[in-house]
Amino acid sequence: MAQSRLEQRIRAANAAGRKALIPFLPGGYPERGRFWNEITALDEAGADIIEIGVPFSDPVADGPVVEEASLACIESGVCLEWILRELMTRRSRIRAEIVLMGYMNPFYQYGLQRFAADAAEAGVAGIIIPDVPLEEASEFRTELDKVDIALIPLIGLNTPRERMEQYAAVSSGFVYLVSVLGITGARDSLPEKVRGKLAEAREAFDLPLALGFGIKTPAQLEPFAEHLDAVVFGSALIQHIREGKDAADFMQRWR
């Protein structure tokens, strides 16, 4: 498989001697108007990839911070169609690659084929769908492959090696390793098990490895640095914005 845009972007950051940065914000957060300003700010502050959340009413893998933010976005009328439509008009001005993260149902209602076409037009490089494991992914992946959008695999601390290999055979973009056996939300420390799982993933995949869930500070990553190519942060960024600060300022500590 040829290197996808996502992979190239992460490798380029690594070649420059740093981890790629992947901030996450729910679409339309904190308000619909301000959201795109924050995306621009994240872009200008050095985000390599920006993950935009597609709000869903029942986000099973998310903690309270992301859930509350998502529900507020739904209240304000944000939906997948709004995100894609807005993205189409702004994509050329954003340097970072764009990844959408959301639960299956909104994509399913949009129509998988229609989504693939519109997402390609909006310049989306990849998607992450926590409630679509390997078993349920083949139909969606077929549509995404046609337009060169990566379906990014999520790997847990409890994912066995042979399942990683099954994912490796069909995946592109990067690998998202979930740092905790739990839901999203900033934590003070990460389990020791992360190191071993990253090493295992390094052997199973040819793709860059990103670590996400529960990440708050660069110091948390030090023990795992050698096996890590990129880092995803969401809840901590949302909390930062909720305190009235701006997204660009959050990025400073990571650069």
Partner 1 sequence: MNHHQKTAAEAAAYFGRFGGKFVPELLIPPLTELEEAMRTIMVSEEFRNELALLLRDYVGRPSPLYRCPNLSRELGFDLFLKREDLNHTGAHKVNNTIGQALLTKYMGKPVLLAETGAGQHGVATATAAAMMGLECIVYMGAKDVVRQSHNVLRMELLGAKVMPVESGTKTLKDATNAALRHWIAEQETTHYCLGSVVGPHPFPTLVRDLQAVIGREIRAQSLDQAGGLPDYVVACVGGGSNAIGAFYEFVNDESVKLVGVEAAGSGEPGCFSSASINLGTPGVLHGSLTMLLQTKEGQILPSHSVAPGLDYPGVGPEHAWLHESGRGLYASVNDDQAIEAFNTLCRKEGIIPALESSHALAWVLSNRDSIPAGSRVVVNLSGRGDKDLGIVEEIIAARREDA
CB of 155 to partner 1, least distance (A): 6
Looking at residue 229, what DSSP letter applies? Answer: S
Element (H, E) at 102: strand 97-102
CB of 135 to partner 1, least distance (A): 5
Does 62 qualify as catalytic in the annotation? yes
Name residue 206's amino acid.
D
The residues pairing with 127 across neighbouring beta strands, listed in sequence order, are: 100, 151
Number of residues that bind partner 1 (CB under 8 A): 46
Q: What residues numbered 19-78 form the site for partner 1, per CB under 8 A?
A: 56-61, 63-64, 67-68, 71, 74
3-state class (DSSP) for residue 52: strand
Out of 15, 33, 92, 135, the residue judged to bind partner 1 by CB under 8 A? 135
The residues pairing with 176 across neighbouring beta strands, listed in sequence order, are: 154, 210
Between 75 and 249, CB nearer to partner 1? 75
> d(Cα 177, Cα 104) in Å, to the nearest integer?
19
Q: What residues numbered 104-133 form the site for partner 1, per CB under 8 A?
A: 104-110, 130-133
> d(Cα 33, Cα 22) in Å, to the nearest integer?
22
In the structure encoding, which two tokens stand for residue 196, read together? 């071993």
Single out the segment in contact with partner 1 by CB under 8 A; choices: 8-16, 33-41, 156-164, 202-210: 156-164
Out of 1, 12, 89, 139, the residue judged to bind partner 1 by CB under 8 A? 139
Between 60 and 225, CB nearer to partner 1? 60
Out of 182, 191, 218, 223, the residue judged to bind partner 1 by CB under 8 A? 182
Out of 160, 165, 193, 253, the residue judged to bind partner 1 by CB under 8 A? 160
Catalytic residue among 38, 43, 62, 118: 62
CB of 119 to partner 1, least distance (A): 15
> d(Cα 29, Cα 72) in Å, to the nearest integer?
8
Between 44 and 81, CB nearer to partner 1? 81
> d(Cα 88, Cα 124) in Å, to the nearest integer?
9
Does 43 qualify as catalytic in the annotation? no
Out of 4, 40, 159, 235, the residue judged to bind partner 1 by CB under 8 A? 159
Between 43 and 118, CB nearer to partner 1? 118
Looking at residue 207, what DSSP letter applies? Answer: S
In the structure encoding, which two tokens stand for residue 52, read together? 């935009």
CB of 183 to partner 1, least distance (A): 5
What residues are annotated to the active site?
A: 51, 62
Which parts of this chain interact with partner 1 (CB under 8 A)? 56-61, 63-64, 67-68, 71, 74, 79-81, 103-110, 130-136, 138-139, 153-160, 163, 178, 180-183
